[in-house]
Amino acid sequence: MPPPAVPHGMCLKVMDDRNMKGGMGSATHPLKFMDQDYNSLQDVCLKKRMRFVDEFFPPDPRSIGEGLLEPEVMARVEWIRPMKLYPKAAFIVDTVSRFDFAQGKIGNCWFLASVGALTFQNKLLQKVVPDGQSFRHNYTGLFHFRFWRFGKWYDVVIDDKLPTINRKLIFVKSKTYNEFWPALLEKAYAKVCGSYADMHYGQVSEALMDFTGGVHVHYELKTPPTDLWKIMYRAFQSEVLMGCATPPGNQNEQRLPNGIVLGHAYTVTNVYQVMMGKYPVQLVRLFNPWGRFEWNGDWSDKSPLWNTVSDEDRKQHLQAENGEFWMSMNDFLRTFDNMDICCSCPDFLEEKSACHWISKFHHGSWVPGSTAGGCMNHSDTFFTNPQFWLKINEMDKACEQGQSNVLVSLIQKPDKRNRRNASHHDIGFYVFAVPPEASKISF
């Protein structure tokens, strides 16, 4: 389809982010969220021998938010530092694992499913959870985490006062009583969202992108590509995060007889093929961020089908009630509604290719009466929408055998400080091939 007529000067050149790598807002030099500098605050607390209290996310009902807890419950909340709860409190016990935590009194399974995926990728994990934090060396009650937000990385500081009732954490809980990285990570993300209540309900893709700063690929499982399992398998071999969600139920988080919870997010933790006799079976391993309630059908923990595979394949068999389970790809497609893959680089999309992806970005907006031209049904105004020219240069010789793929991702920046108050508009884009006669136009 040819592009619509465009007035000269209306198109915008796409920006290249290669020159920004290492600059402010990058993973190595993140911006200071709410202008709070971790090192400066740490120095002040050490010199004054004081414990940090965050004025921008204070330990009071404002940070929990409205509607999440009943008033009588809110009145019982006490904010306590981990060292007051347990003198042997630790930021991380042994290693970080998806089995470290279980969901609390917020409907933020979308966030915790993403955290479960993050625990598999050490490089990404170290970006989000900076090293060197503890309750022992230079402890001031100050912690920090990093998230990617709409094009830039931010360093987010928090104090370690956590909301409790009867000295028990209200929200995400660690299965190891004295481990606190999950609760502190959740608190930092709640600060970014505006409050704990602002984390109630969401899409797994949101947190996946905030943990990677990468591209996002979404699949509707009712109409999946024929090679989706192969895509997932290649993705698992790369540095990617994968999550999925079940269809909504008649009631919130309804549990089915087969063990699956409706309206719930899960982590994709492995993609594997076993041989059942002479026949290959494609499997997917999933994790419920509740830390319990598993699929009980074919290839589940107690399925006799594991007795039909080789000893080597049987090593993948799970027997613990920990929220993680296997199922066949066919059952996965029948059971789940959609899935998301998010990564720093989408190499997994091509089976064999020596070329490297180049990322570019541009910030734009739809302005009523100016650049909001509507969809193609509005032929008189469609051309006024923001437009971007993308030129694909000649490929490197190493890439000649591959495909000249282009992946376009569109994200919407919030217009409100609190996540749940942000407007969500139906947005989209069209991709047009520019005819040769138009390629000589200069902008």
Q: Mean pLDDT: which of 147-151, 268-272, 344-348 is highest?
A: 268-272
- Per-residue pLDDT tens digits for 287-322: 999 988 999 999 999 999 999 999 999 999 988 889
User: Whose CA is closest to 357, among 324, 404, 416?
Assistant: 404
The reply to whether the predicted model has a pTM over 0.85 is yes
Q: How many other CB atoms sit within 10 Å of the CB of residue 362?
A: 14
Task: Please pick, among 108, 288, 338, 385, the residue that the annotation labels catalytic.
Answer: 288
pLDDT of amino acid 343: 85
Q: How far apart are CA 296 and CA 417, in angstroms?
A: 42
pLDDT level of residue 346 (50, 70, 90 thresholds):
confident
Sequence ranges of the domains in the chain: 1-22+355-443, 36-199, 214-343
- 264 among known catalytic residues: yes
- Per-residue pLDDT tens digits for 96-129: 999 999 899 999 999 999 999 999 999 899 999 9
Q: Cβ contacts of residue 334 below 8 Å, gap of 6+?
A: none
Fold of the domain built from segment(s) 214-343: Cathepsin B; Chain A (3.90.70)
pLDDT of amino acid 358: 73
Is the pLDDT confidence value at 245 over 80?
yes
Task: Please pick, among 45, 109, 244, 343, the residue that the annotation labels catalytic.
Answer: 109
